[in-house]
Amino acid sequence: MKIKAFAPGKIILFGEHTVVYNKPAIAVAINRGVDVELTSRDDDEVNIHISPINYSQKLVLTGGMLEYEYDSSNKRISDYIYEVINRFKFNHGFNLNVNINMYLGAGLGSSAAVTVAVLKAIMLYTDNDATLDEIASIARDIEIKIQGAASPIDTAMSTYGGIIYIDENSNLNPINFDMQLPLIVSNCEIAGNTGEIVASVRDKYNKHTPIMESIFDAMAKIATDAKMALECGNSMKLAELMNMNQGLLDAIGVNTLELSEMVYQSRKFGSEGSKLTGSGGGGCIIAYAPHDIDEVYLKLSQLYKTFKCEQSNSGVYAKI
């Protein structure tokens, strides 16, 4: 038996960090993600291979389960996979090939895409007819266990796909948007540590609570206005709101010299809106270029690892 599954990664268009404080955010699932291929075996072996990081591990099921202890001092992408496998009981072993077709650890949700895609494949293998809501909920639980804290954004985007507005009550509201957003992603190739950056924002919040609250409120207003701008196709307003959001992300201390440079280069090359995406401290920027995406893409790709980012309207799915 062979099972194949795919789950997309994501970018955050608006609302990173403030979403942790129950403010609204907008995220977009992207057409880059994680492919998983599971092949059944007749024995009790479980062979895991992750590319492109060249990770291979051979394990044996004991009583239908894997014996694996998660080591919180050493968080690795493989931990998410073991954590998924640990939640099921198996009659036979299997080979699991996980192919990460996106930047790893760059704020594009690679760990959530791995978790959700593996979860889908294993659920199919164990005849578990889970709903998308169940997949999203288990995946989030796993992210919280391994990362310490996580908003529902990454796992929701990998599960449901599309463009989602997360409101102040953490409800996920799909935004219907048929066209492709003219977005480019560039990677500074310095990894940010989400947990540490979220903690640094918390410190600043505790130190300067009234100021941080005003900034968060402004960011929340930006996200709600951006939802309207998206819905009525007001691209210039959307771009302006991205630039304002970037300024406020700088104010809360999550911007870096490298990200700033990329943002200003992208604007110089003609992108109307640009900002960091995800936790900051490293990782990626997004450039929104409704007038000349090809030119901005060409110029950015001469300087940085860059791709044109198409949204994925589907979330996790089994491949036939």
Does the footprint of ligand PMV cover residue 20 (CB under 6 A)? yes
Tokens representing residue 217 in the block: 């409120």
Tokens representing residue 30 in the block: 């992207």
CA 308, CA 241: separation in Å to the nearest integer? 21
Does the footprint of ligand PMV cover residue 109 (CB under 6 A)? yes
Distance in Å, CB of 63 to ligand PMV, minimum: 35
Q: Which of residues 138-197 bind ligand PMV (CB under 6 A)?
A: 150-151, 153-154, 194
CA 6, CA 11: separation in Å to the nearest integer? 17
Task: Choose the catalytic residue: 154, 167, 225, 250.
Answer: 154
Does the footprint of ligand PMV cover residue 227 (CB under 6 A)? no
Peptide bond into 52 cis (omega under 30): yes
For the packed helices 77-85 and 110-125, what is the interaxial angle rounded to 10 degrees?
Answer: 20
Name the residue nearer to ligand PMV (CB basis): 93 or 161: 161
Name the residue nearer to ligand PMV (CB basis): 66 or 102: 102
Distance in Å, CB of 16 to ligand PMV, minimum: 4
Distance in Å, CB of 34 to ligand PMV, minimum: 14
Q: CB–CB of 273/243 below 8 Å? A: yes
Does the footprint of ligand PMV cover residue 110 (CB under 6 A)? no
Distance in Å, CB of 245 to ligand PMV, minimum: 12
CA 265, CA 274: separation in Å to the nearest integer? 10
Amino acid symbol at 200? S
Q: What is the DSSP letter of 276?
A: E
Name the residue nearer to ligand PMV (CB basis): 159 or 194: 194
Name the residue nearer to ligand PMV (CB basis): 152 or 273: 152
Q: Which of residues 271-290 bind ligand PMV (CB under 6 A)?
A: 278-279, 283
DSSP strands (E only) in 41-123: 45-51, 55-60, 94-100
Does the footprint of ligand PMV cover residue 19 (CB under 6 A)? yes
Which range, of 11-19, 182-190, 228-236, 256-264, touches ligand PMV by CB under 6 A?
A: 11-19
Instruction: Out of 61, 198, 239, 263, name the contact with ligand PMV by CB under 6 A.
Output: 198
Q: CB–CB of 311/30 below 8 Å? A: yes
Tokens representing residue 138 in the block: 């288990």
Count of C-beta atoms within a 10 Å radius of residue 53: 12
Q: CB–CB of 169/19 below 8 Å? A: no
Distance in Å, CB of 17 to ligand PMV, minimum: 5
Count of C-beta atoms within a 10 Å radius of residue 147: 17
154 is catalytic: yes
DSSP three-state, residue 59 = strand
Which range, of 17-25, 28-36, 232-240, 265-273, touches ligand PMV by CB under 6 A?
A: 17-25
Distance in Å, CB of 187 to ligand PMV, minimum: 12
Catalytic residues: 154
Judged by the rule CB under 6 A, the positions of this chain that interact with ligand PMV are 16-17, 19-20, 107, 109, 150-151, 153-154, 194, 198, 278-279, 283
